[in-house]
Amino acid sequence: MARSTPFLLSAGIDFGTAFTKAMIRNTTTEELYAVSFSHCGKEVFFLPSVLYLRDNQLFNPIGYDGPTNEAAISYLKMALTEKCRGTPFQGGGLFWKFNGQRFTYPFEKYIEAMVGCYLRDVVIYTLKFAQSKWPDFGTHSEDRVYFQMSVPAEDAQQEAILDRFRKCLFWAVERAHSGHQDTSLIDIQAAIESHVSRDDCFFLAEVTANVLTYRLSRAGRPGLYLFMDVGAGTVDLSVFLYPEPEFFGEQMNYASARVSFTGSSQIELRALGTNLDQTLLAELRACKEHDARFVVHETRINAAKHSLVEELELAIRVALGEAKTRFIPHQFRNLEVLIGGGGWCSVPYAKAIRNALHAFDLDPELYPLPQPENAIKIWGEDAKTLAPRFSVAHGLSHPFWTWPKERYPREMEALGADTHSPLRINPAHEDDG
């Protein structure tokens, strides 16, 4: 018997600097799954955000069965972001120069094509995964699947950057549905640059996606938050206010939004220092992909961690300074701290936060994002370790029509003229009591 109710699927794709994760939710039945990808002969939840380079050919990691300890184009997401800013991304000198020796045209010119190809295969595999979970999907004329992706909050307020991410996803979804095969990066680049919008693709700031499940849980409450999301590649650092809904409805208000290239992989990279070469880089990447420990001398590791403390502390102090000037004193004094991501560790991340908070005479508790209520059902006994790394994908899997609105730092600055705004009152004119 044919279904009378269509399936509306919501696929949340967390295109990370180091790894990509995805979750898909049937909003009709409220079933939710973490997508597993085929990689090196295994089903994995964490798909490396790379393109492998072998014999002058590029290979997507999905279905790839070759060695992973060889050349790869890493940091695709960061490269796209930096190109949009008009500054060539060097990746720590790790891949543009290296790969540029193998190709007759500059890779940087075709970064959108490479990101598009990567995302196309992610979308294709996500569709296949959905079909395996709901075999009759597509039998109803109104069955739909929405693809929802995030960008760092720092970049979500930059229309030029957001537009590039949109076009890459638009093209990827179109090619995934049509099955059209492209062979030339030049043609793909041209197609992406001229691609029109779609009504089944949506974007949200990563921090908003990260804390969305928290906001929807019993633990979530209005307030001013410092949030640090520690990934393998980057740290997403934001200060935001989630006000009482009667003020501005369901809305995230960002006082500060920054991305720092200080993710957990930087500990090993900096520890290796001048000894870093392509062989060691490939070994490090392979260890990260297989969740194995990369052995570096403990003295070097500790030195690298402490160098990151100083860098992160400065970034946090800048963010807190911006928040202090944009919010009324009692809001700032009641700042809460949320931490997330799979790369979290006490040093350098907790230490950097503590140092920065003490500079403002603040001493709040550091709270990890709580596990989703359905974490055990999704990941079983591995929920404790996997749930933090899926917080963005989990948030993105909520249907777009339930997402809060977002106001970014530039818009927050514009509120400065309104001294009656509950979101920003000049502290000089506000009773500190």
Q: CA torsion, points 94, 391, 221, 30, in degrees to nearest 10?
A: 150
Sequence letter at residue 88:
P
CA distances from residue 99 to 55, 76, 223 in whole angstroms, order as listed: 12, 13, 47
Residue 42 corresponds to which tokens in the numbers above? 């295994």
pLDDT for res 319: 92
pTM: 0.86
**Candidate from 45-54, 80-89, 222-231, 274-283 with smallest mean pLDDT:** 274-283
How confident is residue 6, by pLDDT bands cut at 50, 70 and 90? very high
Question: pLDDT tens across 408-431, in order?
Answer: 877 766 555 444 444 443 333 344
Q: CA torsion, points 85, 90, 91, 95, in degrees to nearest 10?
A: 130
Q: CA torsion, points 95, 97, 102, 108, in degrees to nearest 10?
A: 80
Angstrom distance (rounded) from CA 398 to CA 389: 16
**Candidate from 130-144, 246-260, 392-406 with smallest mean pLDDT:** 246-260
Angstrom distance (rounded) from CA 3 to CA 257: 45
End-to-end CA distance of the chain: 66
CB 52 within 8 A of CB 62: no
Question: pLDDT tens across 363-373, in order?
Answer: 999 988 877 87
Model confidence at 123: pLDDT above 50: yes
Angstrom distance (rounded) from CA 147 to CA 126: 10
Question: pLDDT tens across 76-98, in order?
Answer: 888 788 766 665 544 433 333 33
CB 268 within 8 A of CB 308: no
Pairing of strands 57-59, 223-230: unpaired
pLDDT for res 338: 92
Answer with the residue of higher pLDDT: 416 or 397: 397
Question: pLDDT tens across 335-353, in order?
Answer: 999 998 878 888 899 999 9
Q: What is the DSSP string of 149-191?
A: EEE-HHHHT-HHHHHHHHHHHHHHHHHHHH------HHHHHHH
Q: CA torsion, points 398, 399, 404, 406, in degrees to nearest 10?
A: 100
